[in-house]
């Protein structure tokens, strides 16, 4: 996100009171996050005296930061790169999704202890259906094997999709495939993210999901799909990158005639699930999406 994209930080609350309930996002860096305007727009829309703040936290300071949030009376927080795995290890209890994925991106601070949840998988599943890309029974190529890929593979496997994880370091893809093999209804394999493998598999794929940072601002010219290889026309393409909205990968897929979707839907829906966990109220998804669109580059 470019500096002007936050529109002068006009999403900040000037009227915070002692009664205001606080949540936020922990990351390093965290200044690029669009979660504060997204959540604060939802709070305003529902008339809630809540505020969501950016929380820059160095990795080495995460244990103290989590303890500090509890001491300061925060209701909860989100964790973004590079803190999702560390938050997983710092809570008292994990939801089934967080335990299966091996990472927590949402903290809920309760009197009985700290609950770690992962909203990424549910957010991805909802975004796929919203984009008319239902995962049930499809053959999906997941590009990348990092933290985001874990949630994506879990969501796909839970929907009985067959999944091939491709990564430039095949051993990392193999480790992820092994970790996700608990989903007995799904077939998960791994391979190398290279031109030869993509060319061999592209004729038999229904969905391609990019979980790598390739194409993300400021390196918008990069793509995990080789320029000389035509994207499969019959496949759908979902790119987790949402800044910019139209990545080089999505351009390649669209040029081939494939259905495409950027990662804004996943961002909004994973945020909505965290919002509902904290507030116990239905998230105004359309309001949250509009707030994100207002601060993101077209």
CATH number at residue 110: 3.40.50.10860
Q: pLDDT confidence of 187, banded at 50, 70, 90?
A: confident
Helix 120-130 and helix 264-279, axial crossing angle in degrees, nearest 10: 130
The secondary element (H helix, E strand) that includes residue 273 is helix 264-279
pLDDT for 173 beyond 50: yes
Q: Please identify which of the residues 21, 84, 171, 172 carries the catalytic annotation.
A: 84
Residue 181's pLDDT is 80
Q: pLDDT confidence of 10, banded at 50, 70, 90?
A: low
Same domain flag for 230 and 250: yes
8 A C-beta contact, residue 139 and residue 187: no
The CATH number assigned to the domain holding 187 equals 3.40.50.720
Question: DSSP strand E in 41-123: where?
Answer: 50-56, 76-79, 93-94, 106-110, 113-117
Mean pLDDT of the chain: 92
129-132, long-range: CB within 8 Å, 24+ apart, which pairs?
A: 130/265, 130/269, 131/236, 131/238, 131/259, 131/261, 131/265, 132/259
Q: Work out the angle at residue 119's Cα, subtended by the Cα atoms of residues 272 and 122, and round it to the nearest 5 degrees.
A: 85
8 A C-beta contact, residue 12 and residue 254: no
Same domain flag for 32 and 107: yes
Same domain flag for 241 and 269: no
Residue 6's pLDDT is 46
Q: Which residue, chain included where needed, has tokens 């060319």?
A: 199
**How many domains does the chain fold into?**
2
Q: List pLDDT tens digits, range 126-157.
A: 999 999 999 998 999 999 998 899 999 999 99
- DSSP state, residue 200: H
Same domain flag for 141 and 93: no
171 a catalytic residue: no
Structure tokens at 267: 């961002």
Same domain flag for 128 and 71: no
> Phi/psi at 169 (nearest 5 deg)?
-105, 95
Question: Which whole number is the average pLDDT over 164-189?
Answer: 87
Residue 110's pLDDT is 96
Same domain flag for 241 and 143: yes
pLDDT for 2 beyond 60: no
Same domain flag for 20 and 103: yes
Residue 3's pLDDT is 35
Same domain flag for 127 and 253: yes
Nearest-CA neighbor of 59 among 77, 34, 84?
84
Residue 12's pLDDT is 60
Q: List pLDDT tens digits, range 11-51.
A: 566 578 788 999 999 999 998 889 999 999 999 999 999 99
Q: List pLDDT tens digits, range 259-290.
A: 999 999 999 999 999 999 999 999 999 999 99
pLDDT for 106 beyond 90: yes
Helix (H, G, I), strand (E, B) or coil at 251: helix
pTM over cut 0.95: no
Same domain flag for 249 and 151: yes
Q: How far apart are CA 267 and CA 159, in angstroms?
A: 20
Q: List pLDDT tens digits, range 193-240.
A: 999 999 999 989 999 999 999 998 778 999 999 999 999 999 999 999
Question: Which whole number is the average pLDDT over 85-94?
Answer: 96
Same domain flag for 269 and 253: no
What share of the chain in percent tops pLDDT 70? Answer: 93
Same domain flag for 53 and 90: yes
Same domain flag for 11 and 65: yes
Tell me the torsion sign for CA atoms 13, 36, 123, 57: negative
Q: How far apart are CA 212 and CA 224, in angstroms?
A: 8
Helix (H, G, I), strand (E, B) or coil at 135: coil
Residue 257 is part of which domain span?
Answer: 122-262
Residue 15's pLDDT is 73
């Amino acid at each position: 996100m470019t500096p002007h994209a936050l529109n002068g930080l006009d999403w900040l609350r000037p009227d915070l009171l002692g009664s205001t309930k606080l949540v936020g996002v922990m990351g390093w860096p965290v200044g690029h996050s669009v979660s504060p305007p997204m959540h604060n727009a939802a709070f305003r829309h529902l008339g809630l005296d809540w505020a969501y703040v950016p929380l820059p936290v160095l990795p080495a300071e995460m244990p103290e930061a989590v303890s500090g949030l509890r001491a300061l009376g925060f209701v909860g927080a989100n964790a973004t790169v590079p803190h999702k795995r560390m938050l997983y290890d710092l809570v008292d209890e994990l939801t089934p999704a967080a335990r299966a994925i091996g990472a927590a991106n949402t903290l809920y601070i309760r009197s009985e202890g700290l609950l770690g949840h992962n909203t990424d998988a549910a957010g991805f599943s909802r975004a796929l259906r919203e984009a008319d890309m239902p995962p049930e029974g499809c053959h999906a190529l997941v590009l990348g094997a990092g933290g985001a890929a874990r949630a994506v593979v879990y969501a796909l496997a839970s929907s009985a999709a067959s999944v091939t994880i491709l990564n430039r370091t095949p051993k990392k893809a193999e480790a992820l495939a092994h970790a996700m093999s608990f989903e007995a209804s799904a077939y998960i394999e791994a391979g190398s993210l290279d031109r030869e493998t993509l060319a061999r598999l592209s004729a038999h794929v229904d969905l391609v999901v990019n979980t790598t940072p390739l194409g993300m601002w400021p390196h918008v010219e990069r793509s995990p799909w080789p320029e000389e290889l035509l994207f499969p026309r019959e496949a759908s393409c979902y790119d987790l990158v949402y800044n910019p909205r139209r990545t080089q990968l999505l351009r390649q897929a669209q040029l081939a005639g494939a259905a495409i979707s950027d990662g804004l839907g996943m961002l909004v829906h994973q945020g909505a699930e965290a919002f509902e966990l904290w507030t116990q109220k239905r998230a105004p998804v359309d309001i949250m999406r509009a707030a994100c669109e207002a601060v993101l580059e077209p």
